[in-house]
Each structure stands twice: as structure tokens, then as C-alpha cells.
Structure 1
């Protein structure tokens, strides 16, 4: 089956064509458009149904795109990142977020699955276990002009298999921080001429990881910092001719817990443009530089930022940045973007069918979830391309009013364009219309906004 896409769509997809053979590329385009238009499960069969190919005799060719065809996830990630950066951040510092998520999957053939804490259903007092696959994803944290908000755009996702899986293969288990280090270094190679800042939560507050990142050119990392972390002054200069091993650290500094309750601590009042969804949020902060050291581990120079809330709505917390030159307010604003990673995971589950795919082949599993998360970024790119020539229609209800488009509106815009390029009804009043316009528009809206 031949397939021709509108120029507005193909202009975004064309850079990916070189990853596939001509025959496979035709299947890829059909599956991509089907994944955007499909509702409910994002299986290959549901994609074929929405594309009108339920009677396709060679349906197995579409499955083979995922479980057999020769193409590189890594190269696709590079192309997607390059396109996103050129579109939304043509110059300046590139801020990325990294975090893991659990895809709930069961079955004997899902080899890399493990038993993990369910971050959605668990709380501080209630622990819920779940069987599934653990994915580590890097996202571009950038403000979308027409949404006037920072979005997390996934571009690089990898499977982090469970420890039991590695034990069965008699392989050394690779920790989540090891995967993170490799991913950060890979992105550093892709963006060799740009300054890179990586934002992460406390799971990645690891001295080995922070030390590796801090020694990489033009790369910094921002994470949470324990209030009882052992901080020191830098090691004093070593006189010439001194015998013995060089010192790693200087005098011990007070813990951040002590700084927090010390009456002599200097606090600065600032207003953050965005703090976990709250605009113009006032906070108080104190900052300083130190080296973080633990016996047997690398020494990491950091800038620490201690934050407390004058409104007493959140507990005091501390952040660290491996680049001591950055201003503390900038560090806080970059870190506050991290929450968008969780938002993206939820949007991908709700609107793009993440966790509904049913592949069991190892290669198909390794490809499908990264593709679904990458589809979030691709839909954003398509909406950005289309919004210049089309009017936004944000979905409104009497009980929920929004002034700016969200991802569901971006997905609806792309779907509306795809349906309109496939079929339309006449606009001439003299033509006989079998389906009333109001009914047609209502059915169309139900289709484009369906999850």
C-alpha cells in the first residue's frame, strides 16, 4: 500500500526516512499516523483498524517493523533531539530532565520485568508493589511558545532491566545511575557545541554520577541534596615538596540542618516565576559553595541552595548544582521544571496509550515504549508546525475553563488536520449534506479528543 502524507507532516518526518529502507519507511508512516489517530490501545492491530487496513492480508509486515526490521533507536533519538533543539532552543543553554517510570506489564515472556515500588499508588505510609518494566527517559525541558509553559519533551528512552534479569543471564547488574551516566554522556556527544544542564530527583544524587558529570566539558547536574550531607571547604593549596598523598578536602562545614536553624543564617527573599505550577511564588533561600565528600567516594565541588517557604506550605529542602558559577535563583528555576517529567508520563498514558501495547518480543519491547514517548514530542512538533496556519480551539466545558492549549489540544489539532486532509464535507450551501454540520463536528470532536 502506497501512502502520501501532506507536506506539513512530511516536512517533520523526512529526517527520519534515512533510518529505514524504502519499503519499511512506507509501513512506518502508516503506523505513525495510525498511532496518532487511534484511541484506546496502541497495538499494531488497532493502528491498522483506524487506518482502514483491517483486511490487510500482509499484516505481519507491520509487526516486523518493531520485532525484526533493521533500524536504530539511538539514531532516531539523535534526530529527534536535533529537531527539537533547532525548533525550540536554537541558542543558549539546553536544559534536560532525566527520570525513570514503571510500565506495568505481566507475562512469562516479558523477560526484563521486575517487581518495583509503584510511584503512583504508593505514599510515605503505604507501599504498593507492581510488576513491570523500568524505563529511564531523558526529556528536553523547554517553554512551548503557544502554551506559554514548560513541557517535558522525551527524546531518549532506554530499558533498565531488573536485577533478577541480569542474574538469570549471569551478567553484572547495571544500576539506574550507570544508565543515567551513559545517557548523559551520549547526549553530550550529540550536543557537543552546546552547554548542557541535567535536572534529576534524589534517586540520582550519587557521588560517582555527579563526579563523572562535573568532569565533563560544559555539562552540569542539578539534584536534591540531603540536609545531613557532609560538606567541607576545598582542600588547601599544597606547598611544593610536601610528602604524602594530597588532601581531598578542607575543614568540615556545618550541616545544612544546622544552617537551617541558625539565627545568623542570611536568607534572601526571591520570587520564582514558576514553582511547581504556582506563578510568582515567594521563597527564601540561602546558598554557598562547598565540596561534598564521603569516605571512599569521589569529591564533588558543588553549589548548595537551601530553600524554605515563608508560607509554610512545603518543608525546607536543599538542592545542589555541580557548576558553582550558576546563580542560585537560576538553579531553583531550572529544578522546578523537573515536575513536567511526571506530567509527560501521565499525558503519555492518558492520551497516547502508553502501557496498552502488547508486544512480547524482546526487540519490540525495547522499541515500542520509547516510540510512544517520542510520539509525545513528535505531536508537539507537528502542532507547532500547524499552529501558524490553523486556529487553536481549546476544548472548554462549563466546569473547566482554560485559556491556553494543553497537550490534548495539540493532539486534537494534529488529528483534526489529518482527518481534514483525508476527507471533508462541502462548504457550499446549495450542496446536499446527508450529515448535519453540527452532528459531524460533534462526532469529529469526539474522535480527536478521545484518549
Structure 2
């Protein structure tokens, strides 16, 4: 929160790499990010103190993509990642699998892009070429008057429609020692200059520029999930000193976000969820707090190991009062 472009603030803590499913939630009429695979990525100092080789978050990301492909060998997968994963190794790994995984992430404006390698002529000696002629950088295309810009309306942050100018093309992203990766790049800028020009890449050339932008915008739902689990499920409030407890608790709490959502999906069965209103806060759509309260209302009255005989009208206090207390506490907890 205190960092800026000129001043970077960091503090000690645990860094988690979380893979989430971007799923449309019917009663919320929005897309939520549901965590299902989380790994702890220790710092470089942690590895140095133990004499181990440092494992970067991009290494963890590649391993998680491979694991996801093993779980879902026949499903078409699209992984959307932020700028921390804008390195050649990640799309190279995803594109090199037997069943390739599509990667969408940012692309540096000064990235080295090339034309495809020319067709090898018969009788040519030496190793085949991996790339062709060097293309202009995306930074150069921004200021080139010959760049062909197209105005496109896209679904933007906050559910708004926004008009952006887009230029796109294909290239080979290559660096010495790594396999060449065919990509499609998308360069976008704001006609009103409200945000700086930026570039995105995709490894599946069949995806349209509009779709890649809208999928990348949905990545922001990951940040909203982190906010919800900190606010309602106690993430970052744990006080454990055991390594195993640290490794288990945060993934369990993140998984609880998805589990509660699945419970609600089963209980609603296509019915809308009435959102709670207050005099000082008017909500247009139900939130995770409403979902959490609804699931609590269904679970708390259930008596699994009751020793007293069942009394449908009285449970030590009047049933109406118990329901009222349950309803109040479900929202307050």
C-alpha cells in the first residue's frame, strides 16, 4: 500500500503462489476467482541459509502448470498471469507440453521479437535456424506512425465497457539457451491517455485480441479473492511456528473460500441470493459476505451429536428466537 513507482516498500512475510479458477457465479452475476492450488514460495535468503538452490516463483508457476495439465489431460486450459510471470521460460514450458497450455500474460515493450525461421533449403549445412529477421520492438511500434491501430470496445475493470486502441501481430519470442516460442502480441493504448500503453501476449494464435484483453482484465478477481479471505476467513492472522502448520493453514483457508462457494451453489440450485442492505451501504449485487452468511445459516442449526430428544418447536429457547440469533450472528461473525 505504501509503494509507488519511485519508492518500493517491502516487509518480511510469506509469499504464496495461488492458482485460481475464474468461474461465473450465477447469484453474484459476476466472475469470482476460486483458489484450488496454492504453494509457498520462500525467499532467496531462505534457500541460502539452508544451502539449497533458489526456486523462483516462475519455477513454481511452471511446476503448477504441469501439475494442472496432469490433473486435466484433455481439457483446454488458459492460464492468465501477471507481470511477475512475463518471462520466456513460462510460456515456453506451457507450449512445450504434449497437450499445450495457453498462457496470457504481459509482454515487455523492449522484448526481442523475431520473424519465423525461413524454410530450410535442401543441402544446407549446420543446425536449422530457430528464428528469422529481428522485428521492431513494441516500444518502437508505439511511436511508429505506420502502426495500424484499431478501436475496440472491451469489458474493462469494474464491469465497465471501455474503448481502447489495439495493434496486434505474431512473432517468435526467443532468447539464447531457450526454445523459441511462437506468440501473438497485443499492444493497447487508451485514446484518452488515462493509462500507460501496455502489451500482452498469448501462445494460442486462435484467440482474438478482444478476448485476450478481457481475460487478462478478469485476472483482477484474484486480488478481490485475497481481500475477501483476509477480511472474512482469517488469512494472515494465523500465529503458527511449525513449518507443517504454516504449509497447511493458508491453503486450507483459501480452499475454504472455494468450498463455501460450492456449498452455496448447491444450496441455491439456480435461485437468486437476496443481498443484505443497510442504511449506510447499498449493494447492487450479493457479495461473498452474503454467501458466507447464508452457508452459516444452513450449517449452524444442524445438531449432529444431540443427547436430548428432538423438539421441533423448542430448542431450549423458542425456535423463532434461535433463528433470529443465527441470522444476526451469521452476518456478524
Q: What is the TM-score with the length of structure 2 in the denominator?
A: 0.90
| Local SS of the residue matching 1:133 | coil
Question: Quick check: 413-422 or 176-185, which moved more?
Answer: 413-422
Counterpart CA distance in 2 for 1:226 and 1:355 is 32
1:446 Cα deviation from its structure 2 partner: 4.1
Counterpart CA distance in 1 for 2:282 and 2:211 is 32
Match in the other structure for 1:192:
73
1:162 Cα deviation from its structure 2 partner: 1.8
Counterpart CA distance in 2 for 1:284 and 1:218 is 30
Match for residue 187 of structure 2 among 293, 303, 306: 306
Distance verdict in 2 for CA 1:215–1:202, change over 3 Å: same
Deviations 1:89-121 (A, max 9, x none): xxxxxxxxxxxxxxxxxxxxxxxxxxxxxxx44
Q: Are 2:169 and 1:283 equivalent residues in the alignment?
A: no
Counterpart CA distance in 2 for 1:177 and 1:389 is 39
Match in the other structure for 1:416:
297
Match in the other structure for 1:232:
114
- List aligned pairs for 1:324-335, cutoff 5 A: 324-335=205-216
Match in the other structure for 1:266:
148
Distance verdict in 2 for CA 1:425–1:340, change over 3 Å: farther
On the 8 A contact 2:26/2:270 being kept in 1, the answer is no
- List aligned pairs for 1:243-254, cutoff 5 A: 243-254=125-136
Q: CA RMSD in A?
A: 2.5
| Local SS of the residue matching 2:131 | coil
1:449 Cα deviation from its structure 2 partner: 2.1
Distance verdict in 2 for CA 1:129–1:263, change over 3 Å: same
Distance verdict in 2 for CA 1:414–1:435, change over 3 Å: closer
Match for residue 171 of structure 1 among 52, 73, 83: 52
| Local SS of the residue matching 2:153 | strand
Deviations 1:378-436 (A, max 9, x none): 000011111138762312123322232111111011011123435999889xxx97698
Counterpart CA distance in 1 for 2:331 and 2:4 is 31
Counterpart CA distance in 2 for 1:412 and 1:426 is 23
| Local SS of the residue matching 1:397 | coil
1:149 Cα deviation from its structure 2 partner: 0.8
Counterpart CA distance in 2 for 1:212 and 1:391 is 42
- List aligned pairs for 1:350-429, cutoff 5 A: 350-388=231-269, 392-422=273-303
| Local SS of the residue matching 1:277 | helix
| Local SS of the residue matching 2:284 | coil
Deviations 1:262-283 (A, max 9, x none): 22222222222x3121422222
Match for residue 139 of structure 2 among 251, 257, 276: 257
Q: Are 2:3 and 1:127 equivalent residues in the alignment?
A: no
Counterpart CA distance in 2 for 1:130 and 1:204 is 21
On the 8 A contact 1:194/1:218 being kept in 2, the answer is no
The structure whose residues are more often helix, as a share, is: 1
Counterpart CA distance in 2 for 1:426 and 1:373 is 36
Q: Which runs of 5+ in 2 are unaligned?
A: none
Counterpart CA distance in 2 for 1:256 and 1:395 is 48
Paired residue total: 327
1:375 Cα deviation from its structure 2 partner: 0.4
1:309 Cα deviation from its structure 2 partner: 1.4
Q: Which runs of 5+ in 1 are unaligned?
A: 1-119
On the 8 A contact 2:20/2:37 being kept in 1, the answer is yes
| Local SS of the residue matching 1:386 | helix
| Local SS of the residue matching 2:133 | coil
Counterpart CA distance in 2 for 1:292 and 1:146 is 42
Counterpart CA distance in 1 for 2:124 and 2:263 is 63
Counterpart CA distance in 2 for 1:391 and 1:145 is 8
Q: Are 2:42 and 1:161 equivalent residues in the alignment?
A: yes
Distance verdict in 2 for CA 1:313–1:323, change over 3 Å: same
Q: What is the TM-score with the length of structure 1 in the denominator?
A: 0.68
Counterpart CA distance in 2 for 1:366 and 1:236 is 49
| Local SS of the residue matching 1:318 | strand
